[in-house]
Structure 1
Amino acid sequence: MYEKDGERYFIVDGHVHFWKPTEDGFRRQNEETIVHDLFETGYVDHAIFQPATADPEGVAPGSALTERYPGRFTVAGLEPVAGNLKGVKLVTTELAGRQLSDPCSYRFLEKCQEFGIRNIHLHTDPSLRPLDRDGTEGADGADASAAFDAAGLDEVAAAFPDLRFIVEHVGLARLQDFCWIATQEPNVYAGLALALPAILTRPRQFAEIIGELLYWMDENRITFASDYGLQHPKWLIESFVDFEMPEDFQDEYGELTTDVKKKILGLNAARLYDLEVPDGCGTSEAAAESDEIGANSKVPV
């Protein structure tokens, strides 16, 4: 949990990884490092694992940690399975060129619906080799016709209104396309991984990104995500709480209030994953509504 200026922020990191060491040089992440970085120094109260791959037995990395640290981790699996899974991960970067509107995607989403899995984490952007941003064939000849594109999102969001599509990286290379879809599909959400680091290096660019999301969507459909272990949540959270919308942006986008920050940093994801929020971490709006209900109640207390 993060506290500043008398405010308490319940933090849900909606996008973390458990990277296995590779020949390419990713730093080894062990249990001690992850727990330290997220919970001891990173202010995180609950983390959603977004596995990159499954191990040879088909188990998503991080699954064991959810058992050893109950209430702290949730795994969004790579495929819908019966049980208590609450989220799955989809990547629009299929080398076969598949998109969300393809029949195989519909079968996948139908299974999610059948098993009661409502949170679909859709990964878009950034483009990585051999995939090109414009969706053309990659440099090594791979068919990258889907690239990191959210093509088909509006179609499937309308076809599956009971599912929630959390678009990780907010489709950043095509932000306006994403915003046009999100404004008409109320079950589309924006995950801020990749967009947040600009808060220090290019604060005006970040102001434009968050401003566009708030303008076209609303503060109830944007979720905090660090992309750990590529980024550390500590400095992202501190920077976001301190961030102020530039004065010359406020006429167009308004202010980034404490209530909005609380929703983005944790309350929105807590609602998606049915997480219990500690007392004192809600918004002032909710507190005022609660006081009003109490004042108008005829039930003796």
Structure 2
Amino acid sequence: MRDDVFVFDNVVHMYDYSDENLVSEQSEYDRHYHVSKVLGRRRTAPTDVYANWHPVEGFKRRWSVEDMGRLVFEDSGTDMAMAQAVPLFDLYKDGFAPVKAQYAFAQAYPERCLFCGAVDPMYPSVAAACEEMERQVKEWGAKSIKIYNAHVDGKSWACDDPEIAYPLYEKGRELGIRVFQFHKGNPITRAKLSDLSPLDIEGAALDFPDMLFGVHHLAVPYFEEVVWMANRYENVFLVLSGIGHTPMIAPRTFTEWMGRLLRDVGSEKVLWGSEMALLGNAKPVIEWIWDMEIPESMQDDYGYPQITEEDKRNILGLNQARIFGVDVEAKKQELWNGAAR
């Protein structure tokens, strides 16, 4: 990969899969399912340097700032990242990517990491969620808010609910937050798959045209739906999170997804997101994306365009920088001391 490519990862997580963070014994089922499902799709197991000598057991812990910093900014070649909290409070006391842990990581690397907070209007209430959002923005400098609306305890809710969801967007607008991001598709618990459908983003995007709505994981298995949504709404963008392993194990599938996104959505609305550390060192995937091409057979059969260098730069970092107001050239000077890496 060329040295001048600016890589800005939309989502990394400081995970807390420790026993102490589990809500109940039932949480162990979902924890084991999530970790084993993801790690089972990786080509290689994590390395000993991160204390992950066992692919599943090694993740049942709290990640440290030091481990994550080394993985993200040294080993993977990532220039900037956003640490995103995940408010999965039905299974994990602090969420499986706790707000305070993401803030700690962003604080440790203030020149390289942005903090994305998280709230849930059902834990315990809409008013409490709005109050917590204000705290995260005003005290901790959150630049975005992450949403996870599907739960196993009967508290699932819809992202287009005027009474539950809309007060969050209105509070975000008041606080200067214009980007909300959503876990869609990619089930990692026993919550109903239908609760992870991206279709409830559509009404919110229509009713809040001044806000940006990021749909993670390409909403797989709702890929078709989310493509048509991003195609029609200027304020909906898509994140390649949770599927970062795909080029390593199913390159044709990933290439087909990318061809479809280029044809029907546009590279300016697709963001790279690794979800390190669960998916391991992202460097091989970043390099694969930079080297990828859309085969002529796919171009001929489906009308997919060839992916360009501009497309790749957009996806790997420029789109994220634009959305969050980062001056890429100035940041290159700051991080690279005026020279290529």
State TM-score, norm by structure 1: 0.82
1:270 aligns with 2:321: yes
> What is the alpha-carbon distance in structure 2 between the residues aligned to residue 87 and residue 221 of structure 1?
17
Letter in 2 for 1:93: A
Corresponding residue of 1:294: none
Contact 1:123 1:168 in 2 (8 A): yes
RMSD over aligned CA atoms reads 2.1
Could you tell me which of 74, 81, 91 is aligned with 2:114? 74
Unaligned runs of 5+ in 1: 136-145, 282-301
> What is the alpha-carbon distance in structure 1 between the residues aligned to residue 275 and residue 99 of structure 2?
20
Could you tell me which of 53, 67, 76 is aligned with 1:42? 76
Answer 1 or 2: which has greater helix percent: 2
Letter in 2 for 1:90: I
> What is the alpha-carbon distance in structure 2 between the residues aligned to residue 33 and residue 164 of structure 1?
32
The 3-state SS of whatever aligns with 2:164 is helix
Corresponding residue of 2:199: 151
* Superposed displacement of residue 59, structure 1: 4.5
Letter in 2 for 1:234: K
Contact 1:60 1:78 in 2 (8 A): no
Corresponding residue of 1:179: 227
Could you tell me which of 226, 229, 237 is aligned with 2:277? 229
Q: Which moved more, 1:25-34 or 1:267-276?
A: 25-34
> What is the alpha-carbon distance in structure 1 between the residues aligned to residue 248 and residue 189 of structure 2?
27
State TM-score, norm by structure 2: 0.72
The superposition leaves residues 37-62 of structure 1 with CA deviations (integer Å, 9 ceiling, x where unpaired) of 11111111111111134849x85312
The 3-state SS of whatever aligns with 1:43 is coil
Q: Which moved more, 1:270-279 or 1:181-190?
A: 270-279
The 3-state SS of whatever aligns with 2:255 is helix
The 3-state SS of whatever aligns with 1:10 is coil
> What is the alpha-carbon distance in structure 1 between the residues aligned to residue 266 and residue 189 of structure 2?
34
1:131 aligns with 2:188: no
Letter in 1 for 2:268: N
* Superposed displacement of residue 177, structure 1: 0.7
Letter in 2 for 1:78: A
The 3-state SS of whatever aligns with 2:209 is coil
Identical aligned pairs, as a percentage? 27
Contact 2:82 2:115 in 1 (8 A): yes
The superposition leaves residues 185-210 of structure 1 with CA deviations (integer Å, 9 ceiling, x where unpaired) of 10000000123321121111111111
> What is the alpha-carbon distance in structure 2 between the residues aligned to residue 149 and residue 21 of structure 1?
25
The superposition leaves residues 242-300 of structure 1 with CA deviations (integer Å, 9 ceiling, x where unpaired) of 1111220123111111110000000000001111213798xxxxxxxxxxxxxxxxxxx
Structure 1's 279 and 250: CA in aligned 2 closer, same or farther, altered over 3 A? farther
Structure 1's 227 and 217: CA in aligned 2 closer, same or farther, altered over 3 A? same
Structure 1's 123 and 49: CA in aligned 2 closer, same or farther, altered over 3 A? same
Could you tell me which of 146, 155, 162 is aligned with 1:96? 155
Corresponding residue of 1:14: 10
The superposition leaves residues 70-100 of structure 1 with CA deviations (integer Å, 9 ceiling, x where unpaired) of 2211111013324242200011314423111
* Superposed displacement of residue 22, structure 1: 1.4
Q: Which moved more, 1:150-159 or 1:122-131?
A: 122-131
> What is the alpha-carbon distance in structure 1 between the residues aligned to residue 107 and residue 72 of structure 2?
17
Structure 1's 33 and 128: CA in aligned 2 closer, same or farther, altered over 3 A? closer
Corresponding residue of 1:142: none
Corresponding residue of 1:164: 212
Q: Which moved more, 1:122-131 or 1:183-192?
A: 122-131
> What is the alpha-carbon distance in structure 2 between the residues aligned to residue 158 and residue 182 of structure 1?
12
Letter in 2 for 1:243: M
Contact 1:78 1:89 in 2 (8 A): yes
1:257 aligns with 2:308: yes
> What is the alpha-carbon distance in structure 2 between the residues aligned to residue 127 and residue 50 of structure 1?
18
Structure 1's 128 and 9: CA in aligned 2 closer, same or farther, altered over 3 A? same
Aligned residues: 264
Corresponding residue of 2:86: 52
Contact 1:92 1:150 in 2 (8 A): no
Letter in 2 for 1:33: D
The 3-state SS of whatever aligns with 1:278 is helix
The superposition leaves residues 116-140 of structure 1 with CA deviations (integer Å, 9 ceiling, x where unpaired) of 101111111212342243x3xxxxx
> What is the alpha-carbon distance in structure 1 between the residues aligned to residue 282 and residue 4 of structure 2?
16
* Superposed displacement of residue 21, structure 1: 4.2
The 3-state SS of whatever aligns with 1:76 is strand
Could you tell me which of 58, 73, 86 is aligned with 2:143? 86
Corresponding residue of 1:33: 67
